[in-house]
């Protein structure tokens, strides 16, 4: 991907999916099957575009690592079988593994439950020069915990903080946390992979019918599917209350994985291009040392 050619176009392409303020956000306004009028027979073209995007990410990541001034945090949230794993795999397929860290957050451990709800994720925030990926995140605390409020019993929170303003307070805490990270040079991009119940069902059945994919299926997946409406409501409220200009959400149509991969790759590339990443400038003294080292190598 040529940076000068594509950079102006990325924002236009991503605009329908970017949420920087949740004031009027409604999840029903987003089609999980949207492909921007690209047909299924456009997949070869989409693969080429994704390959170009991956090459651009590799180029930018090399500068991110060398400059060692910015960090990038990518957060993925979705219903089961929406394609988080495959999206991370495809989008990050060309970058240097040494510059990327992936953390998956399952049900919290007893140790994690004895800390505040941001503790286990805060420990995993990427350092400067790195791309950090959260496969699920602290947002589970306003999703799963909200749909299953009995989970709060295990968190041992003092009763006076469990009132009607609990979710509002957690949204405020998350927004403050993300602003803190941003002010310290950690760029945040958040992705909700928006899958339809019909496509989720198809993917579940595929996992059941294909022996090579049986390991991906859990009986709890079907159980959670019964709470579809509750989860959609929780996701909508989450995005409405935590979408900001510095840490936007992208509602990514996920019924077609090839298209979801394109959207995410472009969103990550756009975020990195905006940083004007450059290799460190070598000082005159350092350059003199390099020339000295070169002469020594040529003499031996």
Residue 155: its pLDDT value, please?
94
Which domains does the chain possess? 3-299 (3.40.50.300)
Q: pLDDT per residue over 86-129, tens digit each?
A: 999 999 998 999 999 999 999 999 999 999 999 999 999 999 99
Q: pLDDT per residue over 213-244, tens digit each?
A: 888 788 788 899 999 999 999 999 999 999 99
What is the pLDDT averaged over residues 25-44? 84
- Residue 145: partners with Cβ closer than 8 Å, 6 or more residues away: 151, 152, 155
What is the pLDDT averaged over residues 122-149? 97
Looking at per-residue pLDDT, the higher value among 45 and 207 belongs to: 207
Determine what percent of the chain is predicted with pLDDT higher than 70: 95
Residue 39: its pLDDT value, please?
66
Using the predicted structure, report yes or no on whether residue 184 has a pLDDT greater than 60.
yes
Closest residue by Cα to residue 264 from 173, 192, 195: 192
Residue 235: its pLDDT value, please?
98
Beta strands in the chain (DSSP E): 18-19, 71-78, 100-104, 131-135, 186-194, 249-253
Using the predicted structure, report yes or no on whether residue 289 has a pLDDT greater than 90.
no
Residue 42: its pLDDT value, please?
65
Specify the pTM: 0.91
- Residue 268: partners with Cβ closer than 8 Å, 6 or more residues away: 57, 72, 74, 91, 189
pLDDT category of residue 8 using cuts at 50, 70 and 90: very low
pLDDT category of residue 38 using cuts at 50, 70 and 90: confident
Using the predicted structure, report yes or no on whether residue 183 has a pLDDT greater than 90.
yes
């Amino acid at each position: 991907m040529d940076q000068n050619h594509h950079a102006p176009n990325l924002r236009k392409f991503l605009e329908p999916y970017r949420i920087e303020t949740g004031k009027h956000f409604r999840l029903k306004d987003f089609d999980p099957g949207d492909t921007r009028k690209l047909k299924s027979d456009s997949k070869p073209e989409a693969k080429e575009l994704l390959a170009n995007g991956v090459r651009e990410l590799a180029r930018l990541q090399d500068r991110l690592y060398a400059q060692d001034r910015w960090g990038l945090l990518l957060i993925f949230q979705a219903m089961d079988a929406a394609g988080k794993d495959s999206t991370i795999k495809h989008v990050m397929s060309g970058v240097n593994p040494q510059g990327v860290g992936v953390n998956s957050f399952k049900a919290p451990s007893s140790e994690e439950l004895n800390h505040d709800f941001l503790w286990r994720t805060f420990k995993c925030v990427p350092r400067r020069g790195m791309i950090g990926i959260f496969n699920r995140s602290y947002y589970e605390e306003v999703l799963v915990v909200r749909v299953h409020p009995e989970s709060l019993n295990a968190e041992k929170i003092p009763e006076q903080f469990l009132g009607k303003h609990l979710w509002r307070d957690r949204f405020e805490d998350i927004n403050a946390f993300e602003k803190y990270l941003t002010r310290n040079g950690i760029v945040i991009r958040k992705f909700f992979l928006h899958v339809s119940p019909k496509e989720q069902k198809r993917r579940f059945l595929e996992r059941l019918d294909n022996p090579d994919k049986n390991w991906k299926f859990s009986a709890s997946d079907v159980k959670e599917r019964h709470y579809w409406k509750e989860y959609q409501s929780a996701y909508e409220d989450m995005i409405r209350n935590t979408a900001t200009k510095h840490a936007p959400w992208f509602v990514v149509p996920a019924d077609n994985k090839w298209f979801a991969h394109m959207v995410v790759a472009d969103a990550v590339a756009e975020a990195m291009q905006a940083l004007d990443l450059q290799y460190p400038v070598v000082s005159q003294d350092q350059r003199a040392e390099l020339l000295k080292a070169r002469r020594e190598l040529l003499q031996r």
